[in-house]
Amino acid sequence: MMTCGFDFIQAKAGFDHGEWERQCQIYADKIPLRTIQHYMRLADLSWRWVLHKHPKVKDIEEVKRLAIEMVVVSPKPIVELMREMGHMLKFGGYFEEDYQEKKKRNLLGDGQIEFDFTAAENTLRMICDPKVSLKFPEGTNEVEALTELQGTLKSAAMRVSHRIRELQAIDA
């Protein structure tokens, strides 16, 4: 979406006012104008975010790379896009009672994931406990399994750090 958004922004610059929409209508059966506009908005907002966060970055390809990385690290722009397009409920668009009923009846589907921080923290504490015996996946040795776990933990730590910075920026 991001790459397409940047490409559409660049393409639009080559058209006179009003011509861009007419050109897009030719391909409306492949990609609707509204979707193109959403992609462009996502790319534009991400671009602006990068320039705000990294004002010294001037290289266009580096700005694009950072914008795409930002969307990967924080899905907020994509979530906003999906909500605007009607593919997700607006924030607060469900009721806790309804949610709990769906959860109880196992009707949340693949798109709804909950993360139990307490259970995860307890599991991580167990890894650190020398009295706990670690069981590794069949077909992998200890070094391979621990290396894979280390990579996952690094990714999780990066995401946690990013989220903390976001929250601190909001509080500031």
Q: Calculate ∠ Cα 43-47-48, nearest 5°.
A: 120
Per-residue pLDDT tens listing for the chain (172 residues): 889 999 999 999 999 888 999 999 998 899 998 889 988 988 888 888 788 888 899 898 998 888 888 777 766 666 766 666 666 666 555 556 666 776 676 666 555 556 677 877 888 888 888 888 888 888 888 888 888 888 888 888 888 888 888 888 877 6
Which token pair is 162?
A: 């990013």
What's the pLDDT score for residue 68?
A: 84
Whose structure tokens read 């991580």? 124
What's the pLDDT score for residue 113?
A: 53
What's the pLDDT score for residue 19?
A: 92
Q: Exposed (0-12), middle (13-18) or buried (19+): which is 73, by Cβ within 10 Å?
A: middle
What's the pLDDT score for residue 47?
A: 85
Q: Give the predicted TM-score (pTM) of the model.
A: 0.45
What's the pLDDT score for residue 94?
A: 56
What's the pLDDT score for residue 84?
A: 67
CA torsion 10-13-14-20 (nearest 10°) is: 100
Helices (H), the chain: 2-12, 19-26, 33-53, 60-73, 76-84, 96-104, 117-128, 142-171
What's the pLDDT score for residue 14?
A: 92
